[in-house]
């Protein structure tokens, strides 16, 4: 019974997401959905990303949280780009962003004048993976503080994403984290998945991440 209900919700969500994808394609807009556990460093990563790319692309950000506007405030300070905060406590404290909620938030943005819309999803390694929000590509951020077995324990998130960012690698000297096992776990659940090792703090791997984004946006324009 419960599973039946969830499927209905997901079907309805999918229909909205597909309409969004058509509209955004018509506007020449590339949409990137960034997902992770709470505290993986998504916002810091995106602050650096905005600072690096805002001069090259016309960007906007939609950020989802259950409560607070902390992340939108942090992102607004990083670059002169429009930022919209969604607080899902207005929607029953939802643990993910749903397509119609993102569409509503995006409606206030100048979509025709943008190249890239980044959606920072609610911090949750489970539920957001199930909800298409009309995006072109999906990125999962896994902090190396979380342990190398997480791709095996949360396989759907790694299966639905196009790229995995292993974040906070500046902390590796202080952790018992086996990078080889983590990379193997990712390949076990998503063979061929692109993996980037990054630190927003030290800058390691960040140019590769910026390059990945630029390439995706350029491919969409063609």
Q: Return residues touching a second copy (CB under 8 A).
A: 2-3, 5-6, 9, 37-39, 65-68, 70, 91-93, 95, 122-127, 143, 145-147, 149-150, 152-156, 168, 171, 174-175
First to last CA, the chain: 45
Q: How far is the CB of 166 from a second copy (least distance, A)?
A: 12
Nearest to a second copy of 74, 220 (CB atom): 74
Least distance CB 82 / a second copy (angstroms): 22
What lies within 8 Å, CB to CB, of 9 at 6+ separation is: none
55 versus 173: smaller Cβ distance to a second copy:
173
CB of 188 to a second copy, least distance (A): 11
- Token duo for residue 104: 């509503």
- Judged by beta carbon, residue 188 or residue 208, the one nearer a second copy is 188
DSSP letter, residue 146: G
Rounded Cα gap, residues 100 and 103, in angstroms: 5
Q: How far is the CB of 68 from a second copy (least distance, A)?
A: 5
Distance CA 108, CA 93 (A): 22
Q: Which is nearer to a second copy, 55 or 92 (CB)?
A: 92
Contact 137, 163 (CB under 8 A): yes
Give the H or E element holding residue 181. Answer: helix 179-189
Question: Helix, strand or coil for residue 125?
Answer: coil
CB nearer a second copy, residue 60 or residue 144: 144
Nearest of 105, 112, 44, 116 to residue 81 by alpha carbon: 116
Shortest distance in whole angstroms from residue 219 CB to a second copy: 31
């Amino acid at each position: 019974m419960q599973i039946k209900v969830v499927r209905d919700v997901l079907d309805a969500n999918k229909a909205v997401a597909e309409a969004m994808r058509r509209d955004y394609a018509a506007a020449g807009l590339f949409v990137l959905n960034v997902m992770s556990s709470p505290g993986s460093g998504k916002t810091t990563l995106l602050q650096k990303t905005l600072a690096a790319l805002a001069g090259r692309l016309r960007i906007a950000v939609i950020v989802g949280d259950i409560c607070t506007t902390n992340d939108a405030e942090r992102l607004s300070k990083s670059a002169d780009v429009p930022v919209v905060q969604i607080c899902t406590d207005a929607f029953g404290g939802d643990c993910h962003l749903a397509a119609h909620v993102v569409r509503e938030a995006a409606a206030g943005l100048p979509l025709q004048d943008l190249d890239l819309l980044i959606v920072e999803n609610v911090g949750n390694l489970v539920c957001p993976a199930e909800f298409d929000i009309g995006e072109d590509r999906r990125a999962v951020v896994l902090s190396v503080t979380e342990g190398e077995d997480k791709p095996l324990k949360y396989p759907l998130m790694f299966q639905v994403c196009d790229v995995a960012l292993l974040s906070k690698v500046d902390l590796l000297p202080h952790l018992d984290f086996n990078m080889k096992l983590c990379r193997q776990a990712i390949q076990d659940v998503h063979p061929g998945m692109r993996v980037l090792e990054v630190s927003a703090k030290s800058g390691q791997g960040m140019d590769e991440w910026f390059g990945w984004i630029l390439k995706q946006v350029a491919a969409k324009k063609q």
